[in-house]
């Protein structure tokens, strides 16, 4: 985790090798809604999602790399007269992006894996489990600016070591700087 943070810091400050200096690097922020699926849906309702991303890769490359930090908060449902406490899931993932160059709007598929730390209600200990995600999006330039925007949907699966897996689908709208 510390090595990944150091690599992000080095790339972000422009101290990377000359090969990486030729890459296009963009910082992005996004927000939206998240929907629980499967077991998670039985006790939690939809909530909010936030994303911070670093995107690497020149515009004409067939593949790109994205490092994402994502926050997903789920609202507890009322079951049998008592309300389940809210939970949130953080994730730090590395993703491959495969864009399709078809015109003004650029559709893409995205997928990757990473760590998903979470703290369950009533627990004082944070759990960290591996997970994976995959989905699709569409990127487009914002008129009269140097900014880009994207809309994407992804399916996340957390492979919890001591219980069954958690699954959820965030839908986010973001801006790339």
Flag whether pLDDT at 15 surpasses 60.
Answer: no
Which residue, among 27, 8, 37, has the nearest Cα to 166 in the 3D structure? 37
Question: In sequence order, which residues have a C-beta less than 8 Å from that of residue 110 and are 6 or more positions away?
Answer: 66, 95, 96, 97, 98, 133, 134, 135, 136, 137, 152, 154
- Backbone φ and ψ for 133, nearest 5 degrees, come out as -150, 155
Contact (Cβ atoms closer than 8 angstroms) between residue 113 and residue 130: yes
For the chain, the first-to-last Cα distance in angstroms comes to 25
Question: Which two tokens mark 170?
Answer: 């965030």
- Check residue 120 and give its pLDDT: 76
State pLDDT tens for residues 133-146. Answer: 999 999 999 999 98
- Check residue 41 and give its pLDDT: 93
Flag whether pLDDT at 13 surpasses 70.
Answer: no
State pLDDT tens for residues 36-87. Answer: 999 889 999 999 999 999 999 876 788 999 999 999 999 999 988 899 999 9
pTM more than 0.75: yes
Domain range list for the chain: 23-176
Flag whether pLDDT at 2 surpasses 80.
Answer: no
**Average pLDDT of the residues of the chain:** 86
- Check residue 126 and give its pLDDT: 81
- Check residue 11 and give its pLDDT: 47
Give the other-Cβ count within 10 Å of 65's Cβ.
Answer: 16
**How many angstroms separate the CA atoms of 110 and 154, rounded?**
8
Flag whether pLDDT at 130 surpasses 80.
Answer: yes
State pLDDT tens for residues 94-120. Answer: 999 999 988 889 999 999 999 999 877
CATH topology classification for 23-176: Porin (2.40.160)
In the chain, the percentage of residues whose pLDDT exceeds 70 is 85
Mean pLDDT of 18-36: 81
Residue with the larger pLDDT of the pair 160 and 52: 52
């Amino acid at each position: 985790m510390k090595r990944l943070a150091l690599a992000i810091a080095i790339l972000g400050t422009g101290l990377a090798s000359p090969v990486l200096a030729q890459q296009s690097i963009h910082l992005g922020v996004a927000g939206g809604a998240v929907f629980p699926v499967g077991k998670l849906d039985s006790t939690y309702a939809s909530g909010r999602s936030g994303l911070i991303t670093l995107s690497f890769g020149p515009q004409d490359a067939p593949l790109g790399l994205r490092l994402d930090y994502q926050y997903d908060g789920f609202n507890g449902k009322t079951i049998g007269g008592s309300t389940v406490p809210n939970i949130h899931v953080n994730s730090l993932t590395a993703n491959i992006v495969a864009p399709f160059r078809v015109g003004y709007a650029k559709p893409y598929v995205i997928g990757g894996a990473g760590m998903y730390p979470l703290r369950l209600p009533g627990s004082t200990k944070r759990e960290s489990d591996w997970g994976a995600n995959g989905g699709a999006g569409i990127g487009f330039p914002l008129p009269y600016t140097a900014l880009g925007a994207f809309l994407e949907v992804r399916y996340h699966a957390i492979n919890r070591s001591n219980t069954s897996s958690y699954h959820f689908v965030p839908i986010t709208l973001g801006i790339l700087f």
